[in-house]
């Protein structure tokens, strides 16, 4: 019986610690570290991005006006297509590994790359409309403004 109480106390403590950590995370606003743009593709490097698909999409919807005003993104091509990619800034700028890092041509090497840790892609196409590519799948915004989830194929 004494062993079960200790185990219960450990689970309770772990649960409270995890809950507290998630609350702490939610209180830290998203920080946009840098924006790199090439034609109608924008790469946004962030810290403290929301953890859930819903949180990420809601963040975009709440901040798209600020992104347009401050960074002029998205910048659609002549047909109205654009892509905004959000990346975890993580360890900051690093040197290329010649293989799997995302490097930016608008910066001088050697510290012009990041480790690829994608958080969300926001795509808007003339024929496909607005869609969000996140961990849980693809969410397309239908004509009624509702989000419809699709699994990756």
17 or 8, higher pLDDT: 8
Q: Flag whether pLDDT at 14 surpasses 80.
A: no
Radius of gyration of the chain (CA): 19
Predicted pLDDT of residue 19: 61
Predicted pLDDT of residue 68: 96
- Angstrom CA distances, 4 to 1, 15, 152, stand at 5, 16, 43
pLDDT band at 145 (very low <50, low <70, confident <90, very high): confident
Contact 106, 75 (CB under 8 A): no
Sign of CA dihedral 22, 118, 108, 70: negative
State how far Cα 114 lies from the chain centre.
Answer: 14
Structure tokens at 88: 């975890």
For the stretch 40-66, pLDDT in tens is 999 999 999 999 999 999 999 999 999
Kind plus residue range of the DSSP H or E element containing 33:
strand 31-38
């Amino acid at each position: 019986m004494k062993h079960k109480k200790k185990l219960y106390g450990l689970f309770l403590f772990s649960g409270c610690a995890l809950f507290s950590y998630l609350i702490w995370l939610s209180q830290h606003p998203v920080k946009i570290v840098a924006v790199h743009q090439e034609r109608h593709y924008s790469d946004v490097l962030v810290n403290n991005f929301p953890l859930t698909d819903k949180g990420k999409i809601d963040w975009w919807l709440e901040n798209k006006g600020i992104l347009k005003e401050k960074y002029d993104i998205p910048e659609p091509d002549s047909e109205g297509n654009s892509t905004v990619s959000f990346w975890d800034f993580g360890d900051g700028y690093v040197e290329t590994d010649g293989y799997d890092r995302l490097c930016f041509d608008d910066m001088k090497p050697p510290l012009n790359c990041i480790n690829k840790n994608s958080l969300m892609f926001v795509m808007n196409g003339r024929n496909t409309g607005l869609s969000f590519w996140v961990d849980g799948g693809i969410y397309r915004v239908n004509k009624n403004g509702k989000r419809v989830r699709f699994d990756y194929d």
